[in-house]
Amino acid sequence: MRQDVGVTDRDAAPFDLASMRKHYRAEGLSETELAATPVEQFARWFKQAAVEGGMFEPNAMVVSTADERGRPSSRTVLLKHFDEQGFVFYTNYDSRKARELSADPYVSLLFPWHPMARQVIVSGVARPTGRDETAAYFRTRPHGSQLGAWASAQSSVVASRAELDAAYAELAARYPEGEQVPVPPHWGGFRVAPESVEFWQGRENRLHDRLRYVAEADGGWRVERLAP
Ligand SMILES: Cc1cc2nc3c(=O)[nH]c(=O)nc-3n(C[C@H](O)[C@H](O)[C@H](O)COP(=O)(O)O)c2cc1C
């Protein structure tokens, strides 16, 4: 069934995708200027992305997981915290991503910082955050987002928008603004402990810099350069 989503003929005009390309800046990333750990290097780049990157949500990242047959799926989530222990995001524990992570915790996080001709790719292992950490973050969310976490059985099929709105309205009546919303048991964080982190900087003539930190058995990091 065709749904009218307000697309006009002008919106549908084809782009010449094959000829769409940008010249990336010449300033590179060298081994000598890298921080001692990937998290420190990430902190530097994140600050630049947030302050001068001109991005709407520099903490938006693409999280990729795999199902039991190894079939990948990706979606955007917001990074809410990072430190030497890892990268933290929050979600519904019954969602597709969370179910996949509980069976296979290997995950990829990708930060698409296109306006800076940069990307960061984290490969690592995801573990649920503790309940105290989850509760502390949940308390910082706006009231409406707290209700939303209860109202939506994320990733399941819903009959209609009306069903979703009715579930929200019922919760809003039960927990009016100002009343504490309990932390949903099916909601919480994942902390991704990095095993490798690649920093990609676009350079001229497609000769980009790719520097990858790889975790060593002794807790240190090896840095290797990858061909672009
Ligand atoms: C910019 C942006 C930020 C998002 N942030 C989150 C988030 O922090 N947590 C979350 O569960 N979903 C977030 N979503 C929604 C997810 O992309 C996704 O639709 C949802 O988590 C269900 O994914 P799944 O069915 O693959 O598990 C965000 C979407 C966008 C576009």
**197 is in which domain, residue-wise?**
29-141+185-225
For residue 103, being part of any structural domain is answered with yes
For residue 50, being part of any structural domain is answered with yes
Which residues is 107 bridged to in the sheet? 124
What is the best residue among 56, 78, 110 to mutate for testing ligand 1's pocket, by most ligand atoms within 8 Å of CB? 78
Neighbours of 191 (CB within 10 A): 20
Q: Is 65 in the pocket of ligand 1 (CB under 6 A)?
A: no
- The CA-to-CA distance between both ends of the chain, in Å, stands at 43
Q: Is 154 in the pocket of ligand 1 (CB under 6 A)?
A: yes
Which atom of ligand 1 lies nearest, measured to the CA of 78?
Answer: 8
Question: Ligand 1: distance of its center to the CA of 204 in Å?
Answer: 34
For residue 49, being part of any structural domain is answered with yes
Residue 23: what pLDDT?
A: 77
Pick the catalytic residue from 71, 75, 206, 222: 206
Classified as helix, coil or strand, 184 is coil
Token pair in block for residue 2:
């065709």
Percentage of residues of the chain with pLDDT beyond 70: 94
Which atom of ligand 1 lies nearest, measured to the CA of 155?
Answer: 25
pTM metric for this prediction: 0.92
For residue 119, being part of any structural domain is answered with yes
- pLDDT tens-place string over residues 48-98: 999 999 999 999 999 999 999 999 999 999 999 999 999 999 999 999 999
Residue with more model confidence, 30 or 23: 30
For residue 34, being part of any structural domain is answered with yes
For residue 58, being part of any structural domain is answered with yes
* Widest pairwise Cα distance in the chain: 59
Amino acid at 83: D
**Residue 34 region, left (φ>0) first, then alpha (ψ -120 to 50), else beta?**
beta
Handedness of CA 28, 34, 38, 43 (dihedral sign): negative
Which CATH number belongs to the domain containing residue 60 in this structure? 2.30.110.10
Q: Cα–Cα distance between 212 and 7 in angstroms, integer?
A: 42
Say which residues have a Cβ less than 8 Å from residue 196's Cβ, sequence separation at least 6: 122, 123, 124, 212, 213, 214, 215
Domain count of the chain?
A: 1
Question: Ligand 1: distance of its center to the CA of 28 in Å?
Answer: 32
- pLDDT tens-place string over residues 150-183: 999 999 999 999 999 999 999 999 999 999 999 9
pLDDT band at 5 (very low <50, low <70, confident <90, very high): low
pLDDT band at 20 (very low <50, low <70, confident <90, very high): confident
For residue 51, being part of any structural domain is answered with yes
Is 118 designated active site? no
